[in-house]
C-alpha cells in the first residue's frame, strides 16, 4: 500500500513538472520548450516514420510540427493537452507532406528497440519488423495513420478521431478497412518464407 502511494506521488510530481514546463514555454522560455521537445521527439519521429516511410521527410515533418508548436504555443489553453496537441500537429504535417509528394514510395526504416533473449535471432526479428512496416506502408495514408495511432501509440479510437478531427465512426471504418486490406493482400512474412524453404530442402 505504501509502495502504491509512493508511485502515485511520483506520477503526480512528474505531471506537475510537465505542466510547469508547458507554462514556462508558453511564457517564452526556450529552455523549457527544449526540455519538452527532448521528451517528445523520439516518439514523434517514430510516428512520422511509420506514416511517411521516409526518414528524411519524417524528420522534416517533426521539425515543422515543433516550429508550429513554438509559434502557436500561447493558443494551448490546457497544459495537460500538450502531448495530444503535439501529436495532432505532427500527424497533420505528415498528411500535408504525403499529399505534396505521393509519388515517393520509400520504405519506412524506423526499428523500435526490443529486448532479445538468449538464442534469439536478432536479424530475423529485424526482418519481421521491416516486413510488417512495409505491409502497413502499402495502405493508403488515411488507413495507415489510424493503424499507426491506434496500435503504435496505443491510443483509444476516441483519441485517434480527435487527433484527426473526424467522427469516431469514420476512424473505426478506416481501421477496419485497413486491417481488411492487410489480411487480403499481405505477403508471406520472412519467417514463413524461411519455413517453406526449410521444409522443401532435402
C-alpha cell at 66: 515543433
Assigned CATH class of 120-191: mainly alpha
Give how far Cα 159 sits from Cα of 9, 22, 126, Å.
26, 21, 30
- Claim: this prediction has a pTM higher than 0.85: no
Per-residue pLDDT tens over the stretch 126-181: 455 566 667 777 788 899 899 889 988 889 999 999 988 999 999 999 999 988 88
Tell me what pLDDT residue 130 has. Answer: 61
Name the band, by pLDDT with cuts 50, 70 and 90, for residue 25. very high
| CATH number, span 1-106 | 1.10.1740.10
DSSP string over 107-142: PP---------TT--HHHHHHHHHHHHHHHHTS-HH
Q: In terms of Cα–Cα distance, which of 12, 34, 32 is closest to 22?
A: 32
Longest dimension (CA), the chain: 71
Per-residue pLDDT tens over the stretch 142-154: 998 998 899 888 8
| CA atoms of 5 and 148, how far apart (whole Å) | 34
Domain residue ranges in the chain:
1-106, 120-191
Amino acid at each position: 500500500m505504501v509502495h502504491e502511494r509512493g508511485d502515485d506521488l511520483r506520477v503526480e510530481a512528474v505531471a506537475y513538472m510537465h505542466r510547469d514546463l508547458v507554462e514556462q514555454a508558453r511564457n517564452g522560455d526556450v529552455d523549457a520548450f527544449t526540455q519538452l521537445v527532448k521528451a517528445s521527439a523520439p516518439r514523434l519521429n517514430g510516428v512520422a516514420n511509420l506514416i511517411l516511410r521516409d526518414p528524411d521527410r519524417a524528420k522534416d515533418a517533426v521539425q515543422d510540427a515543433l516550429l508550429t508548436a513554438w509559434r502557436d504555443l500561447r493558443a494551448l489553453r490546457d497544459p495537460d493537452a500538450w502531448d495530444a496537441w503535439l501529436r495532432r500537429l505532427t500527424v497533420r504535417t505528415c498528411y500535408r507532406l504525403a499529399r505534396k509528394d505521393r509519388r515517393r514510395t520509400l520504405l519506412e526504416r524506423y526499428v523500435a528497440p526490443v529486448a532479445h533473449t538468449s538464442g534469439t535471432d536478432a536479424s530475423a526479428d529485424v526482418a519481421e519488423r521491416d516486413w510488417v512496416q512495409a505491409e502497413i506502408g502499402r495502405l493508403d495514408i488515411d488507413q495507415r495513420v489510424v493503424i499507426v495511432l491506434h496500435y503504435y501509440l496505443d491510443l483509444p479510437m476516441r483519441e485517434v478521431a480527435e487527433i484527426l478531427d473526424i467522427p469516431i465512426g469514420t476512424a473505426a471504418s478506416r481501421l477496419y478497412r485497413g486491417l481488411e486490406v492487410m489480411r487480403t493482400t499481405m505477403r508471406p512474412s520472412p519467417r514463413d518464407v524461411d519455413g517453406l524453404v526449410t521444409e522443401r530442402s532435402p
